[in-house]
Chains A and B, each alone.
Chain A
């Protein structure tokens, strides 16, 4: 079989691992794909490369294609736009074919702010989001300035949910500002931000450079948050169903391989190469193992499920995940929730995942939607092959999103 060439883009983050490993360990080759990878300088540029056909697939923030479908971010259609394909002026509908990674973010504070929390007796247990949030609020006298990598990201969603539930709302008491991850430590050192929520390994890099300390892992706020998705143009998936399937299979295999602890060292070494992350393998490995150094004094915390590529049917693009993202965006920006939820649901392609990965033995839940936040412990649910264990997927404040009640 002659290899079909395929171009994909990524951002230099640990959770780009499925694309990078699929290429380097040979999962794409096994599927007869010659995968060409391009490192994009920013999320907006990666989005534009995908929309304008410079690449066929991308490692993308789970929130971004939903925001695009709601007409909020660069080149998307209208809210509720159906019947994919080209819209006006080069607009394109972008689909989330599978979830590439779950969780993997951390919240960090500037050292002066961390010292204030410590002075007030906060234990930095890296676990209790309620206590940490209250301590943060009590230690802050002015508006909190928090950096996130992109306005439409799980990082921003986690922050708004966490601080909102504790009574801190934007824009009254909270400034969420965009800072590219490689510049996060610098922005903190320059006193541009008091805190950040950022993906691996950039939180650890800020610790490493001595400018920040980690307060919480993202999992303390939401135990199972879809972080990055495999994104493709809807019209491309229609025109190239076979290539779409082969790419999805290669990435599913890559995710399974990455999730095995015995492969973590290899994954870290591959990711650390100059063409990929160009960062120390040791720092990358911390994110894979969930053993995080939280302060320049070397304190270590072990986090369960810090960054998942496979466990708990991680790759399954629940339509309820898209619906929840759309619901939260619409609520915050004052848009029509019903239309937004319909658009968000349509982005997450549970149907393609089911059709393309069944033969590989992927765990396929019987349902396309779930109640998000409903599981406080590992829970058996119905699947095509009998049952599978999901969760927990709880929010720290007990928030529950039932798409049937709202959609």
Chain B
């Protein structure tokens, strides 16, 4: 084995892959490649013959890497998920940050730690962004459905926008539900009634 560790990053999103590769480069002198293709993943990886594979925990294709852990797998040499061997706390941090690492058996923990530290920091950021994006998306969708419900009420009862919203809010409070839930029920029902 050459002294330079080779790392494969499995990531379909190009921008995210770049960010991960950049932060790993900043962490040390590594030979890094990124794979975006999901089909035939194990074959692609075995072609690179890496020391370390990093993959997002939310990626369903992660199971394809599990067969690398079998000695008879495509790498033809034992690969262990990092979980197996080294520092339990570091691995736990990785799992919680949403990154999993597959490491060729026998690599010492101190050689892996800077790689995993860099990946963990990056994935923490991704996770925050993911949560923020979802929250924003949901808020937007809720606002859209509330607007439609207000429209339904304004038309059906001949009231203005503020009165329509007040009506929705009161109904939500009376029923102990969210305004957006009441709005959605109203939009669905009015759709059915035509």
Chain A residues near B (Cβ < 8 Å): 41-45, 48-49, 51-52, 54, 72-75, 88-91, 149-152, 171, 177-180, 182-183, 186-187, 190, 192, 333
Contact = CB atoms under 8 A, between A and B. Distances in A.
A190 B43 CA distance: 15
B39 A177 contact: no
The interface centre, meaning the residue of B84, B89, B100 with most chain A CB atoms within 10 A of its CB, is B84
A43 B84 contact: no
Interface in B41-85: 42, 57-67, 69-72, 81, 83-85
B69 A52 contact: no
Given A48-B100, A183-B61, A192-B40, A89 B67 contact: no
* Interface size bracket, B side: 20 to 34
Nearest to A43: B63
A73 B62 contact: no
Given A89-B85, A190-B39, A180 B100 contact: no
Given A41-B57, A54-B96, A89-B91, A75 B62 contact: no
Nearest to A90: B88
Contacts of A180: 60-61, 63-64
A314 B72 CA distance: 34
A51 B92 CA distance: 9
Interface string B146-178: 000000000000000000000000000000000
B86 interface: yes
Given A187-B39, A333-B72, A89 B96 contact: no
Interface of B: 38-40, 42, 57-67, 69-72, 81, 83-89, 91-92, 95-96, 100
23 contacts: A41-B59, A41-B60, A44-B100, A45-B57, A48-B100, A52-B92, A72-B70, A73-B66, A73-B69, A74-B66, A89-B86, A89-B91, A90-B89, A90-B91, A151-B67, A151-B69, A151-B70, A178-B67, A180-B60, A183-B38, A183-B61, A186-B39, A333-B72
B70 A178 contact: no
Contacts, number: 96
B70 A333 contact: yes
Contacts of B70: 72, 151, 333
